[in-house]
Amino acid sequence: MKKQFGVIGLGRFGTAVAKDLEKLGYPVLAIDTDPKLVDAVKEYVSFADIVDATNPDALAAAGIKNCETVIIAVGDIESSILISLILEEFGINNIIAKATSDVHERVLRKIGVKEVVFPEADMGIRVVNRLTSANILDYISISADVDLIEYKASKKLANQSLKDLALRNRFGINIIAIKRDDNVIVSPSADELILEGDELFFIGKTPDILVFKKEFEE
């Protein structure tokens, strides 16, 4: 059974994350205090509820404790801090929170939030790529929709040449280097074989990377 995600706050960012997670087959509990926002997303997610997430009892009753990972997409600083503390008290350790300023980010990190995102730089699909892939080791945002990815090669990629995989033609992805043990192959040739566990460095558009992941991950 795939792990369940919670999304608290259904503005543009939260809604995008919730919908994209469901598209990948992950059940989502979507929460907001605004009935209109909840109504707009309920047909796209497994569970949607009108809840004041700053109320621990209401949040627990909504089923948030069933979620392994929770994305806090609330812009109000005080509310996001309080929700983070409540989730930690519930024993939910994998919390990703939206920040609206550097100060907001620092406070969230001080209270134990491990990952903080800025929606202007980390659009919903980019966050979803990271949340749903153990193979993405690191990434750098090059522009609004282009990323440089460090990716651990899966079994589905293994023992195939770059020419046979045709990643550029199929996904618009360009492999710029391969790290194999202590060796780095820069600008690998089309005949280079990918081995399981290779670390691939490639550049691609964020939506294309999502399609690539769905094709090659277990």
135-216 CATH fold: Alpha-Beta Plaits (3.30.70)
Q: What is the pLDDT of residue 111?
A: 85
Whether 190 and 163 have beta carbons less than 8 Å apart is answered as yes
Residue 54 tokens read as 């700053």
What is d(CA 11, CA 74) in angstroms, rounded to the nearest whole number? 8
Q: Cα(60)–Cα(31) distance, rounded to whole angstroms?
A: 12
For the cut 70, the answer to whether the pLDDT of residue 1 exceeds it is: no
Read off the amino acid at residue 72. Answer: I
pLDDT of residue 127: 72
Strand extents, DSSP E, the chain = 5-8, 28-32, 47-50, 69-72, 94-98, 115-117, 136-141, 146-152, 160-161, 174-180, 183-186, 193-194, 199-205
Q: Which two tokens stand for residue 44?
A: 């796209």
The distance of Cα 26 from the centroid of its chain, to the nearest Å, equals: 12
- Is the predicted pLDDT of residue 61 greater than 90, yes or no? yes
- Check if the beta carbon of residue 121 is closer than 8 Å to that of residue 105: no
Q: Is 12 helix (H, G, I), strand (E, B) or coil?
A: helix
Show the CA angle centred on residue 217, arms to residues 20 and 212, nearest 5°: 65
CATH tag for 5-129 (out of 3.20.20.70, 3.40.190.10, 3.40.50.720, 3.60.150.10): 3.40.50.720
Average pLDDT over residues 145-172: 90
What is the spatial distance between Cα 32 and Cα 122, in angstroms, rounded to a whole number?
21
What pLDDT shows up at residue 143? 62
Reference 48, options 63, 26, 70, 68; nearest CA is 63
Under the banding of pLDDT at 50, 70 and 90, the label for residue 46 is: very high
How confident is the model over 63-81, as a mean pLDDT?
92
- Cα 211 to Cα 17, 207, 208: the distances in Å are 16, 7, 5
Q: Which tokens hold the place of 160?
A: 């195939």
Is the pLDDT assigned to residue 122 strictly greater than 60? no
Q: Which of 88-92, 116-120, 179-183 has the lowest mean pLDDT?
A: 116-120
**pLDDT at position 151 over 80:** yes
User: What residues does each domain of the chain span?
Assistant: 5-129, 135-216
DSSP letters spanning 59-101: HHHTTGGG-SEEEE----HHHHHHHHHHHHHTT--EEEEE-SS
